[in-house]
Amino acid sequence: MRRSRSPSDRRRFLSPLHALCVVVAVVLGVAIFASKGRAAPAGPPLGVASGRPMPVAASGRPPITSASAAPRPSAAPAASGSAAPAGSAAYVEPLSYAVERTAADLPADLSEEQKRALGVGMPGVMIQREGKFRSPFAHPRFGGPAHVRVAMTLAAVHDYDIQKGTYTADFYLTLLSDKDMPPLSLMFTNGKEESSVKLADLPTFKMYRFVGTFFHPVDLRGFPADAQTLSIQIEAQNMGIDQIVFEDDADHTSLDAGFSVPGWDIASLSATTRNHYYPSRFPHDDLYYSRYTFELGLERFGTSAIFSVFVPAIVIVLISLLGMWVPPTEMEVRSNAGAPMLVGAVLFHFSLMQALPATGYLTRADKLMIAVYASLVMNMVSTWFFFLVDEERWDLVFRVARTLVPILTVIAMVSGVVL
């Protein structure tokens, strides 16, 4: 005959270990989600310009896509690099044709807002009186832009830092023009040049090898099964679309033989051009600039996602669920299956976060770990419920919890992975 347990006997099951485990789990959990709250919300991921990733061809090389986008405002370049000047000695800089603006250069019916934007009354404002654009960097006598086909071969990518979104790229850049190009000073708008070698420098054909450090925002919503984009953006510094227009050469844009990025699979490759417009930096800043963008799409290896995140989370849940089959008479063993696993889950979640930058959104791993926490809490609550009911009802609570908690756990885990 089983001995009836008194309230004092039941309280002895709540050992100091359980209380310590719960306190540690709560403190670490608060630290994890506080770090999420401090991060600035990230915008939507920047996808490839073709609108969707292109599948890798049967040959192992991803197909090239190309597109053009309409002009739109965007931020000023963060860093730049330059190619050595080349071209005809007869070339005259656009600023040589610029003149100081007078009242006669302005319409008479300007609104007050337009006057402020144009700096009416401000001395020393330079403009071009000839040509389509008023910007002093426009060239009124160039005779039409040089249409330059841009091709790139990416040789290697090193030191990809997912925390910062930075990487080092080694690549060949080829420019082929329909007329003599103006003296080029190339600018990398999302990075900086570390070194360059000029391989060809003819009026209509130029080729360089660049090594530079670049940046592209990361999107970790799908982590650990996430996809990232690496880009290289190029403009001709201080030369607008009145002098040079880039056109992507998809047929000669490729990856070097044997190219790979450790830990990542090659998902897509694209080259695009668009007319870029900066927010007004000075009065009459109306010139558009041609921008070439090379994008490499990456996907994290599936085996890495499975064994680094999903398997440990499932093991933690399974060990905890084993306690659901421990009978109420062995309450010490049953209660020890929940609280220690909760601490283990929080520590595992914390270690995952150390490899990623702070984000203002939940990753797929975060959602999975929330499901793990929910399962562990249900397990612990079902055990603590025995302390609140009479011993005569223990068998009913045992059967209901053993059936209900695993079902709810499966629903929570699947939701954490899918949603």
- 341-385 pLDDT, tens digit per residue, is 888 899 999 999 888 998 899 999 999 999 999 999 998 888 888
**Which percentage of the chain shows pLDDT scores above 70?**
79
363 touches 416 (CB < 8 A): no
Mean pLDDT of 9-30: 53
| Full-model pTM | 0.76
pLDDT recorded at residue 15: 52
pLDDT recorded at residue 22: 55
CB atoms within 10 A of CB 244: 22
Q: Which residues contact 20 (CB under 8 A, 6 or more apart)?
A: none
Could you give the C-alpha distances from 245 to 122, 236, 329, in angstroms and in order? 32, 9, 81
Q: Give backbone dihedrals phi and psi of 371, rounded to 5 degrees, phi first.
A: -65, -40
Q: Give backbone dihedrals phi and psi of 275, rounded to 5 degrees, phi first.
A: -85, 125
User: Which CATH architecture fits 8-38+303-418?
Assistant: Up-down Bundle (1.20)
pLDDT recorded at residue 323: 84
pLDDT recorded at residue 40: 43
Nearest-angstrom CA–CA distance, 283 and 34: 44
- 79-89 pLDDT, tens digit per residue, is 333 333 334 45
Which of 7-11, 151-155, 189-193, 339-343 is least confident?
7-11
Q: What value, to the nearest 5°, has the Cα angle with vertex 53 and ends 50 and 55? A: 120
Question: Is residue 47 scored above 90 in pLDDT?
Answer: no
- 80-117 pLDDT, tens digit per residue, is 333 333 344 588 999 999 999 998 888 888 898 888 88
pLDDT recorded at residue 379: 87
User: Which CATH architecture fits 64-88+145-300?
Assistant: Distorted Sandwich (2.70)
- Which sequence spans correspond to the domains of the chain? 8-38+303-418, 64-88+145-300
